[in-house]
Amino acid sequence: MRRISTFILIIIISFAVYVDLSKGTLPKRIAPVATEVTNLEKGEQEVGLAYFEKEVTRGDTVLSIIEQQNMNIENLPINVIAEDFSTLNNGLKPEEIQYGYTYKFPSYNNEN
């Protein structure tokens, strides 16, 4: 029984190593789709959201970047921030941002 268990364990480990080496475990870096915004003031989107653009560096999150640029957002629900970010970036989810790319982040400085 011990030999069978050892054999099965070796097969499982071998399969895991094979999958890791052949397909990898990290997602591939995919460039976000950019669309052209025309006839709009800089900082405004068709939906009327004020925004700023920033290149993401390692360790940045949508929330950390927005907190650095905006004051008094303690009462703003996180789901609103996530929806606004997705709207500005053509449906891109906040957890899908990648460092090295520039994204549009909602600006809440002018709101009460």
pTM, whole model, 2 decimals? 0.56
pLDDT for 25: 62
Lookup: tokens for 100: 């090295």
pLDDT for 99: 87
Residue 54 bridge partners (DSSP): 103
pLDDT for 46: 52
Torsion of CA 51, 32, 100, 105, to 10 degrees: 10
pLDDT in tens, 48-67: 788 899 999 988 999 889 88
pLDDT for 24: 66
Q: Quick one: DSSP state of residue 110?
A: T
For CA atoms 35, 54, 40, 46, the dihedral sign is: positive
Share of the chain above pLDDT 70, in %: 76
The tens place of each residue's pLDDT in the chain, 112 residues long, gives: 899 999 999 999 998 888 877 776 655 555 444 444 444 444 444 557 888 999 999 889 998 898 888 777 778 888 888 999 999 999 999 999 998 999 999 988 765 4
